[in-house]
A and B are shown apart, each in its own frame.
Chain A
């Protein structure tokens, strides 16, 4: 254990203390106790900036389950440090914000407990170097996110959203586990560091492609990429601090982190570059298109998050192209990595702030519906200022930080078309087009976000309560984030040297990465693309009324939610239908299945395995044995064809007595004795049952059913006979009975060998057979004696039936 380990599990430990604090300190808002945790961690992680900047990596290891290679290995490089700082920094701001957002009447104990679990899990994800531990924390984030989304668990929509996000992210998590296991198979280690060192053995392994697909699936579900983004808009039922923290800044970036972390392993694959880039761009376009038609503020932000995540993802895909080049050309594509990291920081700042502003508006007016909001500019001036800064940053307008990363993004998209590999120069022409169109819609919904809340006409009669400015406490966190937005926008050097360059270095395969961001870099293609985005975006804004209704009227069958719901509805339905076909509740049906499976399995085995019959050791058949066998066959046939049950019982006992005679023929007096007595008693019991039977028809089965039964019974008989013959012909060892024969007297002082075996050599069997008899006796006694209660029950039912008549 080291301080780093303690830093990861500190929130988890504190989550255990939460119930105590919650119970005994009711007067102070619980958030004040929680606030120091992320803040202390933030300060602690700040101390790692210096070593990381100078290229020094910190590794710590702690044994957890060394037998399976699952060790709590922590590795701090630029990428994990950046994420840790995001998690703890925005975590502190969110906790601060939640103090004013959640009132004391809420179940704060639960809230902060879940939030701290989540924080710990997220730190574990980004700091783990061991894939198994990473997976453990990965699922812990899914789990705690599930708890946080369903925080208001009396609301049906919360439960639906929590369920949906759980289903989708756990599906991705499991596929991720599969990918990790395949990676382990290919490389022989669970540590990411060692995997990257031995990357060539992974790349030549047959599991490479499958592992890649599984891991991309896992990352895409977590990061809400197309088509798995559907859980994120429904997760907006969570309290706003949760949405701000989990669903904009941290958890949805876990997939991004994973893609970035494993890029050194997979980047050589063309499939990786194409999948990551294409899905990222489709997500960017689809998310921003859908964001324009949302009525709910958090809906807009959710789809905007989806679209921005797609943008980061696509940049990571393009950065991977750099693995195929050397030198200066490689640097060209490496810029995409630094752009991705840069936008990741920027998105965390402005999206976190936007969510907090939405929460403030919700608090101040009581609604998040854009149809009811409007004209709040003069009522909520601080929120208005903050949202101008952050939303314009989201739109990519100078001088805010979103502009810088958008420029970089467009530049990366335009440069990639010049790469002469993987047909990027032909089909790849689509990439910048999709990116530009997606950015246009981003522009539109960002402006819509501002204008719908703050501009236009104030509608006080539509609002649930009178609008007012949010409290100072509530505005602190978004203000800090907005200051960051401006600061990074004006001085990108603030983050580029300490964060972006080390992080990009961790992804890339070169030692030097230069990340420089400029407001103005001449009349480049990216500049004209930005101009185009502004012009068409403005045109789209002016014609908003005309085209959005068209979008809203898209048929339901085209939405992915529709298909998700249909799956959720019809899977249980068809599962029930299938189960009903074989779980009929009839024992005879189950028997048919069991016996036919037995026939089929034996038959297939006999076909596949060579077998022999051997009749050499067979004894000669004596006449009286023949007679006895004929008697048994006749009696057994009569059982089947008998019309009355009494006759069947008598024939059954005839079979039993013939068996006893058989025992006599084969020199087994003890067996014969027992068989005679037991047969008599069981016949008497059968007669007892027969006497009390109700007068019902015995043959109520259909003819076709009988034919099936005949086939199955003949099959079972044949199979067992054949197996018996094979077993007899293939005896490979001598029996051990000679030992008993020799030592029955000198070891056990007995002359009756059967009895000596029963009570001496193998007395344990006898003991438990006696106990079986005892249990049967007690069972019969209880069945008969405890019937009285049931009898009363039946009588009551009869009385009720009579009363009804």
Chain B
């Protein structure tokens, strides 16, 4: 049984969803819209890489999937904090240390 056709169908679906989310990134009226859309794109990328690992028959890409997971979380968290407080790392500017 050849699974390739399923994988390619899955890839197409994922890519279409990325494009759909990209629309949100571009026209998104507010910053939170875009941030959420970017986060979703990150997750879709994980899927893309997973599917590609199957196509290429390699297991070295798994690390990349994990990394994107971490980065997407970190990035979203940082953006959330930025939108909330206006700065990412809380730091007292008057404190000279």
Q: Could you list which residues of chain A lie within 8 angstroms of chain B, going by C-beta atoms?
A: 624, 627, 638, 646, 650, 657, 660-661, 664-665, 667, 669, 672-673, 676-677, 680, 683-684, 687-688, 691, 788
Contacts and interface: CB of A to CB of B under 8 A. Distances in A.
A664 B38 contact: no
Contact of A673 (B31, B34, B64, B87): B64
A660 B48 CA distance: 12
Given A664-B49, A669-B61, A680-B74, A691 B86 contact: yes
A669 B64 contact: yes
Contacts of A638: 26
A673 B63 contact: yes
Given A661-B48, A664-B61, A665-B52, A673 B67 contact: yes
A684 B67 contact: no
Contacts of B96: 788
A93 to B, nearest CB: 78
6 contacts: A661-B45, A672-B61, A677-B71, A687-B82, A691-B87, A788-B96
A789 to B, nearest CB: 12
Contacts of B78: 684
Contacts of B56: 667
A689 to B, nearest CB: 12
A507 B49 CA distance: 92
Contacts of A687: 82, 88
B94 interface: no
B58 A667 contact: yes
B71 A676 contact: yes
Contact of A669 (B45, B63, B68): B63
A107 B63 CA distance: 83
A664 B64 contact: yes
Interface in B25-70: 25-26, 31, 34, 38, 45, 48-49, 52, 56, 58, 60-61, 63-64, 67-68
B66 to A, nearest CB: 10
Contacts of B86: 691
A55 B67 CA distance: 97
Given A650-B34, A667-B56, A680-B74, A627 B61 contact: no
A672 B45 CA distance: 12
Contacts of A667: 56, 58
B67 A677 contact: yes
Nearest to A646: B31
B15 A627 contact: yes
A627 B44 CA distance: 15
Contacts of A646: 31
Interface of B: 11, 15, 25-26, 31, 34, 38, 45, 48-49, 52, 56, 58, 60-61, 63-64, 67-68, 71, 74-75, 78, 82, 86-88, 96
A691 B60 CA distance: 37
B45 to A, nearest CB: 7
A49 B17 CA distance: 108
B87 to A, nearest CB: 7
A257 to B, nearest CB: 75
A669 B58 CA distance: 10
A350 to B, nearest CB: 84
A664 B38 CA distance: 20
B71 A680 contact: yes
B52 A664 contact: yes
The DSSP consensus for interface residues of chain B is helix
Contacts of A673: 63-64, 67
A627 B88 CA distance: 34
Contacts of B26: 638
Nearest to A638: B26
A688 B89 CA distance: 10
A676 B88 contact: no
Given A624-B11, A661-B45, 4 more contacts: A661-B48, A676-B67, A691-B82, A691-B87
A665 B58 CA distance: 11
A139 to B, nearest CB: 60
A689 B60 CA distance: 35
Nearest to A688: B88
B20 to A, nearest CB: 14
- A624, A638, A665, most chain B CB atoms within 10 A: A624
A672 B87 contact: no
A538 B54 CA distance: 118
Contacts of B64: 660, 664, 669, 672-673, 676
B81 to A, nearest CB: 11
A763 to B, nearest CB: 22
Nearest to A692: B87
Contacts of B15: 624, 627
B48 to A, nearest CB: 7
Closest 3 CB pairs of A and B: A669-B60, A680-B71, A672-B64
A687 B78 CA distance: 11
Nearest to B48: A661
A159 B38 CA distance: 74
Contact of A657 (B11, B34, B45, B88): B45
A684 B82 CA distance: 11
Contacts of A684: 75, 78, 88
A683 B76 CA distance: 12
Contacts of A624: 11, 15, 52
A639 to B, nearest CB: 13
A691 B38 CA distance: 19
Nearest to B75: A680
B83 to A, nearest CB: 11
A254 to B, nearest CB: 70
Nearest to B38: A650
B73 to A, nearest CB: 11
A670 to B, nearest CB: 8
B29 to A, nearest CB: 13
B68 A676 contact: yes
B46 to A, nearest CB: 11
Contacts of A661: 45, 48-49
A684 B71 CA distance: 11
Contacts of B67: 673, 676-677
Nearest to B87: A691
A646 B67 CA distance: 24
Contacts of B52: 624, 664-665
A601 to B, nearest CB: 39
Contacts of A665: 52
Contacts of B82: 687, 691
A624 B16 CA distance: 12
A661 B74 CA distance: 19
Contacts of A657: 45
A493 B11 CA distance: 115
B85 to A, nearest CB: 11
A438 B56 CA distance: 101
Nearest to A684: B78
Nearest to A671: B64
